[in-house]
Amino acid sequence: MAPNNTDHIHVGQDGWLFLKTGTNDVLGQYERPEETTELVWQWRSLIATRERRLRALGILYRHVVAPEKLMVYDHRLDGITIRPSASPAYRLLRNEPPPRRLSSPFGLYAAWRRRRRWRETCIDLVTPLRAGRDATDLYCRTDTHWSFEGCYYAYAEICRALGAEPRADLRDRPSFETDHDGDLGSAFDPPRRARSRTVMIQQDAVRTYASPIVEMREKAGLLHTLHVGAHVVYGNAKATDPRRVVLFGDSFSHVMPYMLTILLAETFRELHFVWSTSLDWGYIEQVRPDIVLTEVAERFMVQLPDDTFSVEAYAEERFGAELAAARA
C-alpha cells in the first residue's frame, strides 16, 4: 500500500474531510487574519470599482464568494477550532469603511448610499449556508466543493440578489447517488468515499458555444481537468427571465453540467461562463450583458484578480500548443 499524501487534509467528525493547508494555506487565513487585512480592503476597492464601471454601462454587477467548507462546517472539525469571524468571506461582507467626520446631511446620505450599494453588490452565502448546514450536507464530505444541495442554496441566493425567481423544479430533476471520493478522499489509499447525489439539471438550456479546449477535452472525457480559460455559452428559449448573464467564476461554477453555471443557464435566456476570477472587459463590451456576476472560492481570495485579463489571449497562451498538437 502506498503512503498517504494527506498532510494538507484535516479528518473531521463523521467522515468529514477538510482542506487545511495547500498552496493557499486555508487554515492560516483564519489563524492569522491580520496578514490579509490589506488584501480584504483591496478586494473591496476592486469590487466597488467594477460596480461603478459596470453601472455606468447600464450593467448590473454582483459578486459572490463560495465560503470555505471548514467555515461552514466548523462544528464538524475534530481537535481544531477556527473563528468564523476571521474568514475572508465574512470580513469582506461585514467590514465597513473606516469612520470619518461627516459635516453635512449630504455627506451622511452619500455614506449611507455607499454602504447600501455595497451590501447589495456582495451576495452573502455565509449566513444561509451556516443556517442550513444541519438540514442536509451542503458540501460533499470527501470534497472541497459544495454538493448539489449546497449549490442550489447558493443559486437561490444569487437569483434573489439578481431579482430573479429561483426555479424550484430544478431540485426535482432526475438524479442518482454514488460513492464519491472527490478531491480530498482520493488522496487517501484506499480512497475515502461518501454518498453523493448528482442531479441531471440540464433540460431547457442548449450549449451554443464551447471554446476549443472545452470541446477537445470533452471528447477525450477530460472535462474535469479544465481550469482557467475554459469558456461556454448557453441559450435558453424557454427561460422566463429574458436577461443575458456573463458569469466569471471558478470550479464552483464549472463547465460540467451540475454546478452553478447550468443552474443559471436553466434560469436566464442567455448565460456565458468564463473560467476566470478576473474580468475580461473586452468580452463584456462585446457581449453587452444585462448582468455580470463574479464568483470566487474563498481560499483563492489570497490572489487579487487582474482585470486586464483576456480569455482569448490566455487560452491561446495556455492551450495553443495542446490544441495544435491535437490537430496535427
Residue 295 has pLDDT above 90, yes or no: yes
Residue among 2, 3, 21, 20 nearest 11 (CA)? 20
Residue 250 has pLDDT above 50, yes or no: yes
Indicate the pLDDT class of residue 25, thresholds 50, 70 and 90.
confident
* pLDDT at residue 1, rounded to an integer: 38
Write down the pTM of the prediction.
0.91
* Residues recorded for the chain: 328
Question: Residue 47 and residue 51: Cα distance in Å, rounded?
Answer: 6
Q: Name the grid cell of 182.
A: 472527490
* pLDDT at residue 206, rounded to an integer: 97
**For the residues of 161-227, what is the DSSP string, one character each?**
HHT----GGGGGS-EEEEEE-HHHHTTSSSPP-EEEEEE---SS-EEEEE-HHHHHHHHTT-GGG--
pLDDT (tens digit per residue) in 131-163? 999 999 999 999 999 999 999 999 999 999 999
Question: Residue 63 and residue 159: Cα distance in Å, rounded?
Answer: 12
Residue 164 has pLDDT above 60, yes or no: yes
Residue 166 has pLDDT above 70, yes or no: yes
Question: Residue 253 and residue 263: Cα distance in Å, rounded?
Answer: 9
Q: Alpha helix locations (H) across 10-147?
A: 26-31, 37-56, 69-72, 88-94, 105-121, 126-132
Who has greater pLDDT, 35 or 121? Answer: 121
DSSP secondary-structure letter at 73? Answer: T
The answer to whether 295 and 162 have CB atoms below 8 angstroms apart is no
pLDDT above 90: percentage of residues in the chain: 77
CB atoms inside a 10 Å sphere around CB 148: 24
Residue 264 has pLDDT above 60, yes or no: yes
As a whole number, the mean pLDDT across the chain is 90
How open is the CA angle 201-204-207, to the nearest 5 degrees?
85
* pLDDT at residue 2, rounded to an integer: 42
